[in-house]
Structure 1
Amino acid sequence: MSHLLRQVTAPLTLSCAGRPVARYDLRPDVGHDLAPRPCLHPVSTLGGVRVTEFAPADHVHHLGAGVAVPDVAGYNFWGGRTYVRGQGPTVLDNHGEQRHLEFKLCDPDGFVEDLEWTAGGCLVLRERRTVAAVPLSPDAWALDLTFTLTNPGTDEVSIGSPATNGRPGAAYGGFFWRAPKEAAAPAVFTATAEGEAAVHGGTADWLALAGDGWTLVFAGATAETRRDPWFVRTEEYPGVGSSLASDARLRIAAGATAVRRVLTVVADGRLDRARAAALVRRAVTA
């Protein structure tokens, strides 16, 4: 990536091996209660199969693929209802917004972007986001997404989830990918386990979600990212996330940062374990 590009407001098209594979929308046209944020949608395989969903009827605050967190210092950057300890799901006017500031670099196959997370008239976090499309094979590519969250204030900022606020099993927040809902629920598996109940809430070097003519293989690309448990849904809706706050709140001291990097292999067809693992290895070393 080599081009400096600052004043961009229109959605970007991300290309891989000369083919358009994703659209990056800087400011989706959604209401404040959906926590507006830049997102990737549609994302497609090299064969043209769409593998993201945007504002589906079952969860209208699911916006393609990106970074979304339900509790940052008490503000909702996920959208929808807020989970308050002792109250459960509550409708609160505490939604934040991720605002695009500028691109530091921007090429057809990726970009480096600066954002700010604001809520209640306050700057809560700064973010540096790096996204790249990496070719792997004639029928697979990888989305390489790194996000660095920096606390710009003088007090600690903590990140939570419904799980840390009293709702067991709902540790979502961080990188999140909403896949399209199909007639049948997708298969989900890791190198050693299979099915939603077996993989949800656990850690694994990689996790695959396979639907009708497509497979997504998610992998933490750093040791710290691999320690984050996977949030997985297949029956209620198809979605996978890497959880920043599963058992306890993630605390970011004043001036400190939290960094995560997730690789997502986007492949045509339904991969088996051996092929999924091979493509992850290729993506990590690409």
Structure 2
Amino acid sequence: MARTARTAEGEPVSVTARPSAPALVPLIGALGYTEGRFAHSAELALPTGGVQLLVNLDGDVLGSSGRRTRGAALQGPHTLPAVIDPAQQRAVVWAAFRPAGAYPFLTAPVSAVRDELVGLDDLWGADGAALRERLLEAMAAGGSEACLRELESALLRRAGRPLEPDPAARRAAALLDGGTPVGDVADRLGWTSRRLARRCTEQLGLTPKRYARVRRFQRLLGRVNAGPRNPDWASLAADCGYHDQAHLIHEFRALAGITPTAYAPRSPHERNHVPLGG
């Protein structure tokens, strides 16, 4: 079912949907179409540990932190914040992959696109090069929901490996996401640490330690955006698994590029987009 978010003036700004094709449900958490006009000239996109497919319908270009591609691209899992241009978000179609969900759509390990924005024409050849035009045609013919259906069809055509994600990799991601120590995750799966590292790097795109750090950071941001305007950072550090407030501040700087007190996202619902200037 699609969900539409609206501005205070009542204008639609985004449509979000779950995949309707059953084969895609285990792989993709959500698809969406987002429109926006922003006063700021640049913003930080913070690391989430996930992979996204992005298509800019407003212009045939995408870029982040100096990397530029054509208007349809795959954003690999970040380990650092990326600087992006809000002008490229005026009309964007996207798909957010579940943990290990991007793996069937690539011919190489997910780590090959870590910290990279890779054009779909490079990844998928002619199919990737044609996707943006197909989505523009679907949008013109039937609006955003028709556009999302066309994106689903394209994803179904492109899947190379079996569409069922590796359950062990998904289990590892869930345990790491919940704060289970890396060594305990390997023990619960009956794996060696080396096997855990290999499987996570291949299918999540990050080492277990790095994935755990990014997901802990995301738990922190979730708490910050759900809480009072002036957070108690010492309490949050204890609740989110940091050694102390100093450790939290160090990790925040490393993963966001700013201090916790400088963090001011576009909105509580867009916690990973932080405006940088007017």
The structure with more strand, counted as a fraction of residues: 1
| TM score, norm. by length of structure 2 | 0.26
Q: With CA pairs under 8 Å and 6+ residues apart, which has the higher RCO, 1 or 2? A: 2
| TM score, norm. by length of structure 1 | 0.25
Higher Cα Rg, which structure? 2
